[in-house]
Amino acid sequence: AGAPDGTPAPIVGAGAAVPLPALARQSAARGLGGLEWAVGIPGSVGGAVRMNAGGHGGDIAACIESATVFDLRTGRSGVRGPDDLALGYRTSAVGPDDVVVGARLRCAAVDPDRARSELDAVVAWRRENQPGGQNAGSVFANPSGPAGPSGEEPGAGALIDGLGLKGHRLGTAHVSEVHANFIVADPDGSADDVAELIDFLADRVLAATGTRLRVEVRRVGFGAGDG
């Protein structure tokens, strides 16, 4: 897809390790818009493709041209387009033996000052509505998909908050007082405490509401429970 006059859309190429906030800011500074939503997401390009990261009305699925993926089973890399990636709400066809090496993302020509204003608005909203400190972003996917108009099924944070669990602590980890879908770890926090608190919250929500929350974060180094 391109501009209405048929001009091809500008493409930004980024390696998997590039932080999303840096990608958003550097693209905007060069007059390349469409990635402003990514400035507040604490992740990298590779993880963003794997999970179809998104927020503030945008996501990877809406802008990806292709991704280069290395297959650990075959030792080969290949380019995958949107159909191959099968991006959905915080899901993709990128498997556990796949490593995203980089991505090509479609942008649009914009005024850098306007893009900078959008970046500032996203950052301001995040600072007001989400916690700082040591956290990995949203813990659970919203049961009904991306946040939308009021009146829809409650989001994961609302379900947890409804059970009075804001501030609930387990060892060195606690549920954020600002947004219940965030777990904040102490400076010397334990990953085991975070993982145990995630399981506790999921169990409590399931028992109280019948809703089975899906974890957005991926666990590495926990053995059979990784995922």
Catalytic sites, residue numbers: 90, 138, 216
Say whether 38 sits in a helix, a strand or coil. Answer: helix
Sheet holding 134-135, edge to edge: 134-135, 183-185, 173-175, 169-170
Could you tell me which of 86, 87, 64 has the C-alpha nearest to residue 12? 64
Say whether 81 sits in a helix, a strand or coil. Answer: coil
- Rounded Cα gap, residues 50 and 53, in angstroms: 8
CB-based contacts of 119, cutoff 8 Å, min separation 6: 24, 25, 28, 36, 39
Task: Output the CA angle 220-226-227, nearest 5 degrees.
Answer: 100
DSSP letter string, 190-222:
-HHHHHHHHHHHHHHHHHHH---PPB-S---SS
Q: Count Cα atoms within 13 angstroms, Cβ side, for 201.
A: 33
What is the distance of C-alpha 172 from the center of its chain?
A: 24
* Pairing mode of beta strands 54-55, 58-59: antiparallel
